[in-house]
A and B are shown apart, each in its own frame.
Chain A
Amino acid sequence: ETGVTQSPTHLIKTRGQQVTLRCSSQSGHNTVSWYQQALGQGPQFIFQYYREEENGRGNFPPRFSGLQFPNYSSELNVNALELDDSALYLCASSSGTSGGTEQFFGPGTRLTVL
């Protein structure tokens, strides 16, 4: 059984650029959630994908968008990057969408915006 993987591990971009981050969910999991963790803060929920549809969204602007593919892997896209987008981006997969479902986290992608 493979765990949650993310790519790339590190990324440097400049303000105004666009970025795509990738997440492969754990085998058997159909739900992926994305989180942003600024330095020294707890993660913040961006959105969740369930069976290729967005299932819920946190307080993030539309320039944060995502996709989920038939194999349940997922992408997070961020357009018009801002300096404050510099953070660790975490994805987590689970076999359900709510309640007591345990989430399994990937190692994260550290994004630096200059």
Chain B
Amino acid sequence: KNEVEQSPQNLTAQEGEFITINCSYSVGISALHWLQQHPGGGIVSLFMLSSGKKKHGRLIATINIQEKHSSLHITASHPRDSAVYICAVREGAGSYQLTFGKGTKLSVIP
């Protein structure tokens, strides 16, 4: 069973700061997802990646398969980025199950 660890658990930043959230996992995977969860529960998928790097607006996600590690970066953070960011991994290519980290709670202060 994959163990997914995220750090930090909580993060407070000033508006405009560059933010990094880390995710590490214990077993090789076929895909890694970064998700955003706002208060109230709804989850939005930000990225799905299996290698390299993806960018969408101010968000950048990277993954190092050899190191079993991924990072989510937010440039020029804004209060509307305040949310819980969750990393989830899918193991084999035939696997249907996602294993989630506990999430990182981000608060961006104006």
Residues of A participating in the B interface, judged by any CB pair closer than 8 Å: 33, 35, 37, 40-45, 48, 50, 55-56, 58, 88, 90, 92, 97-100, 102-108, 110
- Decide if A110 touches B41 in the complex (CB within 8 Å): yes
Number of A-B contacts (CB under 8 A): 73
- Decide if A99 touches B90 in the complex (CB within 8 Å): yes
Within the assembled complex, what's the spacing in Å between the Cα atoms of A49 and B30? 20
13 new A-B contacts, CB < 8 A, other than A42-B4, A102-B48, A105-B42, are A42-B86, A42-B88, A43-B88, A48-B96, A50-B96, A97-B96, A98-B93, A98-B94, A99-B94, A102-B33, A103-B33, A107-B40, A107-B41
B side interface size, CB within 8 A: 28
Chain B residue nearest in CB terms to A92: B43
Chain A residue nearest in CB terms to B96: A56
- Decide if A56 touches B97 in the complex (CB within 8 Å): yes
- Decide if B31 touches A41 in the complex (CB within 8 Å): no
- Chain B residues contacting A103 (CB-CB under 8 Å) are 33, 45, 98
Partner of B102, one of A41, A92, A97: A41
- Decide if A88 touches B41 in the complex (CB within 8 Å): yes
